Amino acid sequence: MLLILALSILTLMITIIMMSIASIISFKTFMDREKSSPFECGFDPKNSARLPFSLQFFLIAVIFLIFDVEITLLIPLVVILKISSMLNFIIISTFFIFILIIGLYHEWNQGALKWSI
């Protein structure tokens, strides 16, 4: 028991020393205006390097990703059809699709599917 305690303290001390050394070595001096600006062949940038990002596009992409994952969850329903009765298959698939429809209605009701400028 004493050996385990000693090894864990040694491991902790080595970890702390390594993190301290890494923190000291990787210390950055100062931010230079030229180093932090985007490189355009030595000229000053014409416009901002940060382009505005459409939040509506991001919401549509996330909704698509969620429904895409849920479609992959529908694929095992074929296996359920083979190993269970038709009544179980209908109950499970109806419940799953009902949850999807409720989620779609909620997103539609919240206005997440409106593509406005």
| pLDDT tens digit at each of 117 positions of the chain | 889 999 999 999 999 999 999 888 886 656 666 666 666 566 665 666 666 777 777 878 888 888 788 878 878 878 777 888 888 888 888 898 898 889 888 888 887 777 665
Phi, psi for 84 (deg, rounded to 5): -125, 175
Domain containing 97: what range? 55-110
Answer yes or no: is 79 within a domain: yes
In the prediction, which pLDDT does 8 show? Answer: 93
Residue 26 maps to a domain: no
User: Does residue 90 lie in a domain region?
Assistant: yes
pLDDT for the residue 98: 92
**For residue 74, what pLDDT is reported?**
79
In a domain, 5, yes or no: no
Instruction: Give domain status of residue 32, yes or no.
Output: no
Evaluate whether residue 41 is within a structural domain: no
- Cα–Cα distances in Å, from 71 out to 34, 97, 116? 48, 10, 27
Q: Report pLDDT for 33.
A: 64
Residue 1 lies inside a defined structural domain of this protein: no
Kindly state whether residue 83 falls inside one of the protein's structural domains: yes
pLDDT of res. 16? 95
What separation in angstroms does the CA of 106 have from each of 6, 16, 33, 83, 109?
56, 49, 47, 33, 5
| Res 6: pLDDT | 93
> In total, how many domains does the chain have?
1
The pLDDT value recorded for residue 7 is: 94
| pTM over 0.85, yes/no | no
